[in-house]
Structure 1
Amino acid sequence: MMTVIDAFVAKVIELGDYTEQDALYLFNRILALVGEVSGNPDSQSKPLIDLKEDLLDLAVANGKVGALLEERDSLGAELMNFITPIPSKVNENFWETYEQSPEKAIADFYALSQRNDYIKLVAISKNIAFKTPSKYGDLEITINLSKPEKDPKAIAAAKLMKSSSYPKCQLCMENEGYQGRLDHPARANHRIIRLPLGDEEWGFQYSPYAYFNEHSIVLNTQHVPMVISQKTFEQLLDIVDLLPGYFVGSNADLPIVGGSILIHNHYQAGRHVFPMEVAETVKSFTFKGFERIEAGIVNWPMSVLRLTADSKADLVALAEQIRLAWRDYSDSKAEIIAYTGDTPHHTITPIARRKNGRFQLDLVLRDNHTSPEHPDGIYHPHADVQHIKKENIGLIEVMGLAILPPRLKDELLEVEKYLLNQYNEIADYHKNWADQLKDEHPEVSPENVQEIVYQAVGHTFARVLEDAGVYKNQADFMRFVESIGIVEV
């Protein structure tokens, strides 16, 4: 009778580079990892990833691996490594295909990253996602349930481990093939495409817990900190040439307004049209010396300058001029402060794309200074909306896709019960908001309560973005634009 190992081996031969001659070898290597197994008539029809989970259950039962999620993931990645070509082969396949069709090379690498369970499709499917209409267009909301929360046992065990600085962070090249440990994710099935950017070598990989279609990361092969500079604009525009159909953007490089990993320079890319991309320009102008570039302010809650041109070099030059101007720009009327002593407060979140054959850069102005009234940041979600979102507003959210914490899944159910006057355990920090919803929606019923709460969450996210927007009106924004120099109409 076929065992789960036999079924897994058959799938590995079907999907990977092994042949039937390798069947016994594969069986024995997997047997060594998971332990003895009996026949299972249901195994033959199962998908590869389901078979992998069965093997993990077997390994736990046989004492070959611990039951903690991190321990299972480490063995799971090792099992999926059997269908994953070695890095040199993955790169060779990518670039050979790229010469004929860049689109197919990208599609093949994406398919591999899903097939070998590096992209956690099962986990991602647990996310709650919906859209909310706003005056800026439809905003996208995701309650992130894909990343499992740490088991207290794993946290305690990790504290007892000898500390390690290898790899230095989760974006380092050294993650490729890394076995993983309780405090660092397993990466045995991880592969990175080497990507030339100017005179530097970068890496191109997919995100294990994707927030949008083909969510990928382009990372510096050296462990160097995030920085926004002229080279950033050059590299972003080169990437949209190298990866057709993809947008690419960078988190800002300062605390509060920056991303979660400021210690390793990287960009995020993918094949997704974000709400900000379809937002229209509400005020157009031309910068002096850059008459071939279309420029304007975008109808968006954050402060966005959009530049569109045929020439990458022109865009880079103007973007750098704007970055340098914003770095040192202060305006007391608009509560804009460039420095506190020698501490800088201004930077940019840049996003690049191809649009109708032309190059386009969106430059989002960021300011991270604080005040006694707003100790978390004047341009950070204010206290009255932090019951929904208190984390930094990074690149993805800047573009109109909210990544909300998993706590909201259960908390919003309690809000729904509160609105329906049912017994509930609503969190105190949601109560004022819930009372307001009660007043606004006397028509609430069991049939519509979830939609009412979800749309209210979306409206709160619009407020979050407004809080993060540096300019609250066009007149103040135009003072900065005019300081750079525009052609008078």
Structure 2
Amino acid sequence: MLNKNIRDLVEYGLRTGLVPACERNYTINLLLDLFREDEYTEPAEAPVCEDLEQILKGLLDEAVQRGIIEDSIGCRDLFDTKIMNCLMPRPAQVQETFWKKYEESPEAATDYFYQLSQNSDYIRRYRIKKDRKWTVDSPYGTIDITINLSKPEKDPKAIAAAKNAKQSSYPKCLLCMENEGYAGRMNHPARENHRIIPITVNDCPWGFQYSPYVYYNEHCIVFNGQHVPMKIERNTFVKLFDFVKLFPHYFLGSNADLPIVGGSILSHDHFQGGHYTFAMEKAPMEELVTIPGYEDVEAGIVKWPLSVLRIRSKDEKRLIDLASHVLEVWRGYTDEEAFVFAETEGEPHNTITPIARKKGELFELDLTLRNNITTEEHPLGVYHPHAQYHHIKKENIGLIEVMGLAVLPARLKTELEGLAECILEGKDPAKDAALEKHAEWVKAFLPKYENITRENVMEILQEEVGQVFVHVLEDAGVYKCTEEGRKAFKRFLAAL
């Protein structure tokens, strides 16, 4: 069976272009060495399997049977990456092909690299398919909702192994350049099939790669070549536009640089981008504003639950200047009436989540005002999902959510399935320990629906989950979409 699985994997490599025909025997021999096997016979009669997940499962079962690896999710994920590396072109080859494609067009280059990242199983397509995705209509446009199921849950063996593993500071984090080709360990994922495209951003070496969990089309990560912390400053806007000029078909944005309103990795300077149009980008400017000294720059308040100032110009340098001015003023801005405090007891609260893009001849920059102040009533953040919505979304509202895509926890899949059964059977979710947190929410929305059936119950639950996320975004808005909120927003704009 080993011979057949090796043959099928090599055929997959040939079919996807990972392996050139002249390297067929070479690739077979690399795989034989990996399985500590000296012999190979071509299984000419056996039909070729084209399902990568099935081929890898066969090879991983063989590795377990031969005692090469333990039978756990962690060990399997480390070893299948090692298997796929036998098919991979070297980093220099990938970079050379990328920039040759770039001479055709930036789109040709990213199309090649995105396809490679999927074919190499760095992006595990068969896991991404498990994610639940749907949309809901809102006053702000069509909002995207996802339940993330593509990250495998760690089994007890992996958790124990990670706990007992030797602590290492190499690579320093998941975004460091040193991850390329790293074999991984129980507390750090394998990256042998990972490739990075070096680019220059703000005259410094940066890396361009795709996210292995692709929450949206061509979800890319652009990261500093040095392990330095996130910081929103003038150079942030320079970096964003340097990238957008390189890849004008991609947007690029940054998480904020403060806890609560920031991303999950604040220790390494990085951005996220891709080839996708979010609801926030489609949202119109509901009111144009003129900023003194920048009369040549189009500016306006965006019709969006978070507080967004959109600025546009053919000259990105004018946007960089204006964004730097807005950031400087916002960092020091206090409006007690609107419960906006620049700092309390020396702790800064105001920052910005910026998103840059190219729209025809115009450069466009969305500046989302963020504030991370906490109170006794809202210990996790005043401008953070409020407690009544934590049963659906408790985590930080980062860049992706700011733009209108909910990334919800995997637990919701089984919880929604459980709630569906409760609703259909007329049971009280409050009597189920796993579903109790949803009981008040279900009780509140059920009267809206006269006819709930097995065919429509999940659709109803998904709609209601989506509406909760809309409220979560409204919670994250410093200035609410009300008459009072707009007046407060304009007081800030008048300070510019």
Structure 2 partner of 1:480: 492
Q: Once the 2 structures are TM-superposed, how far is the Cα of residue 25 of structure 1 from its aligned partner?
A: 3.8
Q: Distance in 2 between matches of 1:45 and 1:181?
A: 30
1:211 match: secondary structure: coil
Amino acid across the alignment from 2:440: N
Q: Once the 2 structures are TM-superposed, how far is the Cα of residue 35 of structure 1 from its aligned partner?
A: 5.0
Structure 2 partner of 1:251: 255
Structure 2 partner of 1:460: 468
Pairs within 5 Å for 1:296-311: 296-311=300-315
Do 1:84 and 1:112's aligned partners in 2 also have CA atoms closer than 8 Å? no
**2:258 matches 1:261:** no
The Cα offsets for residues 108-154 of structure 1, whole Å up to 9 and x where unpaired, read as 11111111111111111101111111111111100111111111221
**2:432 matches 1:431:** no
Which of 118, 128, 153 matches 1:149? 153
Do 2:19 and 2:89's aligned partners in 1 also have CA atoms closer than 8 Å? no
Which of 309, 313, 317 matches 1:313? 317
**2:280 matches 1:276:** yes
Which of 54, 58, 65 matches 2:58? 54
Q: Distance in 2 between matches of 1:10 and 1:451?
A: 41
Q: Distance in 1 between matches of 2:476 and 2:23?
A: 57
Structure 1: gaps (5+ residues): 485-489
Q: Once the 2 structures are TM-superposed, how far is the Cα of residue 48 of structure 1 from its aligned partner?
A: 4.3
Q: Distance in 1 between matches of 2:27 and 2:117?
A: 21
Structure 2 partner of 1:81: 85
Amino acid across the alignment from 1:164: S
Do 1:16 and 1:85's aligned partners in 2 also have CA atoms closer than 8 Å? no
Q: Distance in 2 between matches of 1:41 and 1:161?
A: 45
Q: Once the 2 structures are TM-superposed, how far is the Cα of residue 158 of structure 1 from its aligned partner?
A: 1.2
Q: Once the 2 structures are TM-superposed, how far is the Cα of residue 366 of structure 1 from its aligned partner?
A: 0.3
1:402 match: secondary structure: strand
So what's the TM-score if we normalise by structure 2? 0.94
Q: Once the 2 structures are TM-superposed, how far is the Cα of residue 82 of structure 1 from its aligned partner?
A: 2.4
Amino acid across the alignment from 1:30: L
Structure 1 partner of 2:107: 103
Larger mean Cα displacement after TM superposition, 21-30 or 208-217: 21-30
Cα RMSD (Å) of the superposition?
1.8
Q: Distance in 2 between matches of 1:9 and 1:285?
A: 60
Amino acid across the alignment from 2:260: I
Q: Distance in 1 between matches of 2:471 and 2:47?
A: 51
Q: Distance in 1 between matches of 2:297 and 2:173?
A: 39
Change (3 A) 1:41 1:335: farther
Q: Once the 2 structures are TM-superposed, how far is the Cα of residue 162 of structure 1 from its aligned partner?
A: 1.1
Q: Once the 2 structures are TM-superposed, how far is the Cα of residue 349 of structure 1 from its aligned partner?
A: 0.2
Q: Distance in 2 between matches of 1:44 and 1:124?
A: 24
Do 2:127 and 2:149's aligned partners in 1 also have CA atoms closer than 8 Å? yes
Amino acid across the alignment from 1:447: E
Which of 401, 404, 427 matches 2:405? 401
Q: Distance in 1 between matches of 2:377 and 2:261?
A: 18
Q: Distance in 1 between matches of 2:121 and 2:19?
A: 18
User: How many residues in Structure 1 have an aligned counterpart in Structure 2?
Assistant: 484
Change (3 A) 1:51 1:252: same
Structure 1 partner of 2:189: 185
Structure 1 partner of 2:244: 240
The Cα offsets for residues 76-119 of structure 1, whole Å up to 9 and x where unpaired, read as 11221123211112112211221232211111111111111111
Amino acid across the alignment from 1:464: V
Q: Once the 2 structures are TM-superposed, how far is the Cα of residue 49 of structure 1 from its aligned partner?
A: 4.8
Do 1:327 and 1:346's aligned partners in 2 also have CA atoms closer than 8 Å? yes
**2:346 matches 1:342:** yes
Q: Once the 2 structures are TM-superposed, how far is the Cα of residue 228 of structure 1 from its aligned partner?
A: 0.5
Structure 2 partner of 1:415: 419
Larger mean Cα displacement after TM superposition, 92-101 or 293-302: 92-101
**2:24 matches 1:12:** no
Q: Distance in 2 between matches of 1:427 and 1:19?
A: 53
1:218 match: secondary structure: strand
Q: Once the 2 structures are TM-superposed, how far is the Cα of residue 9 of structure 1 from its aligned partner?
A: 2.7
Q: Once the 2 structures are TM-superposed, how far is the Cα of residue 33 of structure 1 from its aligned partner?
A: 1.8
Larger mean Cα displacement after TM superposition, 282-291 or 326-335: 282-291
2:495 match: secondary structure: helix
Larger mean Cα displacement after TM superposition, 406-415 or 174-183: 406-415
Change (3 A) 1:476 1:52: same
Amino acid across the alignment from 2:35: V
Structure 1 partner of 2:30: 29
Which of 386, 394, 397 matches 2:390? 386
Q: Once the 2 structures are TM-superposed, how far is the Cα of residue 327 of structure 1 from its aligned partner?
A: 0.3
Amino acid across the alignment from 2:332: D
Amino acid across the alignment from 1:379: Y
1:429 match: secondary structure: helix
Change (3 A) 1:43 1:269: farther
Q: Distance in 1 between matches of 2:27 and 2:217?
A: 34
Do 2:78 and 2:189's aligned partners in 1 also have CA atoms closer than 8 Å? yes
Q: Distance in 1 between matches of 2:437 and 2:152?
A: 24
Structure 2: gaps (5+ residues): none
Q: Once the 2 structures are TM-superposed, how far is the Cα of residue 194 of structure 1 from its aligned partner?
A: 0.3
**2:218 matches 1:217:** no
2:28 match: secondary structure: helix
Larger mean Cα displacement after TM superposition, 387-396 or 33-42: 33-42
Amino acid across the alignment from 1:182: M
Which of 201, 204, 208 matches 1:204? 208
Change (3 A) 1:440 1:481: same
Q: Once the 2 structures are TM-superposed, how far is the Cα of residue 42 of structure 1 from its aligned partner?
A: 5.0
Change (3 A) 1:346 1:19: closer
The Cα offsets for residues 288-318 of structure 1, whole Å up to 9 and x where unpaired, read as 1111111010111100000011111100000
Do 1:142 and 1:403's aligned partners in 2 also have CA atoms closer than 8 Å? yes
Do 1:257 and 1:368's aligned partners in 2 also have CA atoms closer than 8 Å? yes
Amino acid across the alignment from 1:480: F
1:420 match: secondary structure: helix
Q: Once the 2 structures are TM-superposed, how far is the Cα of residue 446 of structure 1 from its aligned partner?
A: 2.2
Q: Once the 2 structures are TM-superposed, how far is the Cα of residue 427 of structure 1 from its aligned partner?
A: 1.5
Structure 2 partner of 1:487: none
Structure 2 partner of 1:329: 333
